[in-house]
Amino acid sequence: MRSIAQWLGKPFPLRFLILRSLDRRLHFLPYPTRLKYGTIERANYGYCLLHAAKLARQLGHVRISAIEFGVAGGNGLVALERHALSVTAETGVQVAIYGFDTGKGLPQPLDYRDLPYLFQGGSYTMDQDRLRARLRSAQLRLGPVEETVGEFCHQENPPPIGFISFDLDYYSSTAAALRIFEAENRYFLPRVTCYFDDIVGDIDWAYNEFTGELLAIQEFNTAHEHVKISPVNGLRYSRDWVSRLWHEQIFVAHLFQHADYGQPISNPTQAPLH
């Protein structure tokens, strides 16, 4: 009964629900359309990754990197690999994938900013052997994020990073992960699409700018003059799609001093005078 009530409560047009149901069974829609209508698992990952690959192609790159901070059991990382295959088929851009996690579940929260009323130490553990058996190409970086993120770019020399998912739950862990943007600009696309998992929800969750991921973003922006992380204003209205919660969770990291930040990616046309 609960699933029926949830289905009836969603403000989706009937034609959308029918189309989504059919495609989940028959898989007949093109990949970008499947992202638009959410007929594929973790469409938010696919949308962000596809956008990053298109930007990379416009800037002349043939490979990019995608990162998931907070792998937990690994469902997201496995889904990201599947999306990478579709994105490569769509754009020709190859994707290297990296997953960061303690491998042992959440550490203990440090203080109220880590939202201990929602998240507790030891949650979201990983079966490392089982996950590694499922992964095709993604690489795991295990350990406390404050230890693994600092030298990642220098040690790995990844293709330009174009998409990062932040799903570390805590303020402290997210603040540590955001230090990745302190690496040299050459390791990134000029605008990096970011997904922040724990910033929207019901009143019981009470996400706010004084705790959690939102506080980490705010403090990062205050401390960094030339890199700013900002939401994509109006995303839910921009593509003639049905609005989804994850549209509010998409941000872009702007690397203002990146050599390609001002590189034109559009061809604006002026409408004639009527």
pTM confidence score: 0.90
Q: Which amino acid belongs to residue 72? A: A
pLDDT at res. 271: 78
**Does any domain span residue 34?**
no
Say if 181 falls within a structural domain.
Answer: yes
The CATH number given to whatever domain includes residue 60 is 3.40.50.150
Identify whether 14 is part of a domain: no
Position 18 in a domain: no
Which pLDDT belongs to residue 8? 47
Q: Within a domain: residue 11?
A: no
Q: What pLDDT, on a 0 to 100 scale, did the predictor assign at position 272?
A: 85
Structural domains counted in the chain? 1
> Residue 205: which domain range?
41-255
C-alpha 271, offset from chain centre: 36
Q: Which of 93, 96, 90, 87 lies closest to 66, judged by CA?
A: 96
Question: What is the mean pLDDT for each group of 10 consecutive residues in the chain (274 residues)?
Answer: 49 62 69 84 95 97 98 96 97 98 96 97 95 96 96 95 98 98 98 97 96 98 98 83 85 98 85 82
Q: What is the pLDDT of residue 22?
A: 66
Give pLDDT, residue 1.
44
Whether 50 maps to a domain, the answer reads yes
Q: Does any domain span residue 167?
A: yes
24: in domain: no
The closest alpha carbon to 103, from 120, 124, 119, belongs to 124
Ramachandran class of 213: left when φ > 0, alpha when ψ lies in -120 to 50, beta otherwise: alpha
Q: Which long-range contacts (CB under 8 A, 24 or more apart) does 222-230 make?
A: 224/181, 224/182, 226/255, 226/256, 226/257, 227/181, 227/253, 227/254, 227/255, 227/256, 228/253, 228/254, 228/256, 229/178, 229/181, 229/194, 229/253, 229/254, 230/254
